[in-house]
Amino acid sequence: MTSSSALDGEVTPRVRALCMTFPRTLERRSHGEACWFAGGKRMFVMFARHHHDDRVALWAAAQDGVQRHVMEDSPTQFFRPPYVGARGWVGMWLDDHPDWDRVELVVEEAWRCIAGPRLVKEWDSRT
């Protein structure tokens, strides 16, 4: 595991690039962390570096049942985040050599969960 300050230079830009891939995504700070909003309105991913420990993670919106499934499947990579975990969001550790393909999947699924049909259709119809 690496300290959160050491990871900022590599993890933050990578998460930002993944989130900003999607149409009409807006980044702004909320609760002291970088967050990404689908259509500029509803948060789909939140960076988590200062919540209760020194670990680096992201919190992502998820469909019903996903949280339980990923936590059972990969309990060392996923967790139930405070505050939003009760709504089914998943937490994913990023400070111990994350599987970036899986991070990408989690981010896309979070965006799809929040974006709404029009934005999803726009994304799916890209060339």
pLDDT, one tens digit per residue, over 57-99 is 999 999 999 999 999 999 999 999 988 988 999 999 998 888 9
Q: What is the domain extent for residue 64?
A: 4-120
Q: How many domains, in total, are found in the chain?
A: 1
- What is the per-residue pLDDT for 96? 82
Q: Is 61 exposed, middle or buried (0-12, 13-18, 19+ CB in 10 A)?
A: buried
Does any domain span residue 127?
Answer: no
Residue type, 68: R
CATH of the domain at 12: 3.90.1150.30
| Torsion (CA) 89, 53, 29, 46 in degrees, nearest 10 | -20
Residue with tokens 């919190």: 59
74, part of any domain:
yes
89-99 tens-digit pLDDT? 999 999 888 89
pTM of the predicted model over 0.75: yes
Q: Which helix (H) or strand (E) holds 61?
A: none
How many whole angstroms separate alpha carbon 39 and alpha carbon 59? Answer: 18
